[in-house]
Structure 1
Amino acid sequence: MSPSSTAFFFVPGAFCPGSYYHKVVSLLQARGYYARALDLPSMDPALREAGETPGLYADADYVRENVSGPLDEGKHVIIVASSYGSAVTLEACKGITAGEREVNRKGMGSGGELKHLVLLGVLLADAGPTVTELISGVVSVDDTDARMPGVVTHIEPNDVGLTSAVLCGSLPKEEQEYYGAMGKPISAKAFNEPLTFAAWEKVPTTLIIGDKDLALAPERQHEYFDKAVGKGVSHLRKVVVEGGDHLTMLSHPEEVIKVCLEAAGDA
C-alpha cells in the first residue's frame, strides 16, 4: 500500500496521552503517511470537570468514529494500540472489519479496509472479561486509598517515579521521569465494561512484546497469544523486542516503525 492510500491511528494506554506516540508518528509522517495519535475521552479533563465518566465503550466509539472517515474516503487503515488502548481498539473494530463493511456498504463501493492491528503490551483476550479481570488486580478500581478518595469516578496515576520505572524503564532515568509526569487520571468505568468483540479473530494482528515489560508480564502475553493461535487463527504474528519495556513506541520506536511498515506492505 502506498503512503497516500494508508492511514495510521494510534491509541494510548490507561493514564497515557496520545503524545507518547510522537516518535513513531513523526517517523511515519516523514515517509508521507497520514498518522494521528488519539487522546481518549476516558482521560479527558474537560469531561471529568463536567462530571462525565466515559468508559471503554465511549473510548471505542471515539476511535471508531475517527477511523471511519478515512475508511469511507477509500483509505486503508492500520490501528496501533498500547496496553488498555488495545482493549479499546478490539472493541472499536466491531462494525468496521472488512467483512462487516462489505455487507454494510453493498452497492455503495468498497471504500477502504481495516488492514491490520499492531498491539503493544497486551493480552489477546476473548470477548467477555473486563480490563480489571484481564489484568488480575494489577490495577484495582475498588480500593479507596490515597489515589481514590471518596466515591470512585476516576483513578489517579501512580507516583511518577514508580510509573516511569514500570512503564518505560528501558529509557534513561531523565526520560522516564519526563514521560511519567505526563500521566493522566482515567475514568474508573474504563476498567469495568466487558469486552464484547475480539477483533484479532477478524483482522490481521501483530503483537509486540517487550521482553523487559514490567507492567504486564511477557509470559502472560505469550500465553494468550499461543491460545489465540491454538484456536486456528492464522493471521496472527508476534514480535519480541529485546530490552523493550511496556511502552515500546517510546523505548524502541524504530522496531515499532518496522512492524507498522510491514503491516502497510512497505517494509
Structure 2
Amino acid sequence: MTTSFALLPGAGGQGWLWHLVEADLRARGYDAFAVDLPAADPSCGLPAYADTVVAAIGDRTDVTLVAQSMGGFTAPLVWERVPVRGVVFVNAMIPRPGETAGDWWGDVGSHEAMLAAARERGYTTEFDDAVYFFHDVPDPLVAYMNEHPSPETDAAFGDPCTFSTWPSAIAAIAGRDDRLFTLDLQRRVARDRLGLEPVVVPGGHLAALSHPAELAEAIVRST
C-alpha cells in the first residue's frame, strides 16, 4: 500500500503552493496530491473546504493530511469524516475544538509575536507580502504569485472548527525564519495545544516554495 499525502494550502486555497513538495514526494514514491480550495467563493467556508478535500481523497485509505497555515482549520473537519493515518501541521494555525480562524490570532497572541520579532530583527512592522511571505522565495515564484493572486473570503474565518478527536499520529513542522508565525510562537502553540515540539526546517512561512526538499524530508520523517 502506497502512503498518500493530502497537501492542504492555507488562506487563498492555492494547491500550487505545494507543487515543489508534491513533486519531491512523488519522486520518493509517495502518492502526494495538492488540493485547491474554493477560497475565493464567498458562499464557501470550512465545510466546503472539507468537502473538497474529502472528494480529492476519494477511496484512498492510507492518507496523511499535511496542513499549511490556515489549512490547519480545514484538516480537523476532514479527519472527522474520513479515516486518516495522521496529520502534519506546517507553519499552521493549530486549532482548538470550536475555535474560529478569526479568533485564533488573538487567542494565541500571533500579532503581538509578529510585531515583537519585527522590531527585534529590524524589518518593518507594517504588513507587506514581500516582507512577511516572500522574503526567502525565489523571484520567479514570487512573480508567478503576484500574477495569480489568491483572495480569501471572510466566510472561513468565522466558521467554528468543530471536531471531537485527534488523529493517532500528529506532528508539527515550523519554519525557522517564518515572519508571520514566528518560531517562538509556533513552539509555544504546539506545546500548549498538542503537547509536542515542532520539527524546525529552514525557510519562512512559504517554506514549501523556498526550501521544498528540506520540507518534504521533514514531512516524511514526521510520519
Query: Could you tell me the TM-score, scaled by structure 1's length?
Result: 0.69
1:138-174: CA deviations, max 9, x gaps? 89xxxxxxxxxxxxxxxxxxxxx93243123222445
Amino acid at match of 2:70: Y
Structure 1 residues 57 and 122, CA, compared in 2 at 3 Å: closer, same or farther?
same
Amino acid at match of 2:54: R
What residue is the counterpart of 2:123 in the other structure?
none
Structure 1 residues 130 and 167, CA, compared in 2 at 3 Å: closer, same or farther?
same
SS, match of residue 145 in structure 2:
helix
Q: Whole-Å Cα distance in 1 between the matches of residues 59 and 99 of structure 2?
A: 29
What residue is the counterpart of 1:133 in the other structure?
103
Runs of 4+ aligned residues of structure 1 deviating over 6 Å after TM superposition are none
Report the count of equivalent residues: 206
When Rg is computed on C-alpha atoms for both structures, the one with the higher figure is: 1
Matched, 1:15 2:12: yes
CA contact (8 A) 2:98 2:160 kept: yes
In the TM superposition, what is the alpha-carbon distance from 1:68 to its structure 2 partner? 4.3
CA contact (8 A) 2:86 2:167 kept: no
What residue is the counterpart of 2:115 in the other structure?
none
Matched, 1:196 2:156: no
SS, match of residue 198 in structure 2:
strand
What is the RMSD of the two structures over their aligned residues, measured on CA atoms?
A: 2.5
Counterpart among 218, 228, 243 of residue 193 in structure 2: 228
CA contact (8 A) 1:120 1:247 kept: no
What residue is the counterpart of 2:124 in the other structure?
none
Counterpart among 55, 77, 82 of residue 96 in structure 1: 82
**Runs of at least 5 residues in structure 1 that lack an aligned partner in the other structure:** 98-113, 140-160, 231-235
What residue is the counterpart of 1:245 in the other structure?
204
Q: Aligned ranges for residues 103-122 of structure 1 at < 5 Å?
A: 114-122=84-92
Matched, 1:65 2:31: no
Q: Whole-Å Cα distance in 2 between the matches of residues 95 and 16 of structure 1?
A: 20
What residue is the counterpart of 1:32 in the other structure?
29
SS, match of residue 41 in structure 1:
coil
What residue is the counterpart of 2:217 in the other structure?
258
SS, match of residue 8 in structure 1:
strand
Query: Could you tell me the TM-score, scaled by structure 2's length?
Result: 0.81
SS, match of residue 93 in structure 2:
coil
The percent identity for this pair of structures is 28
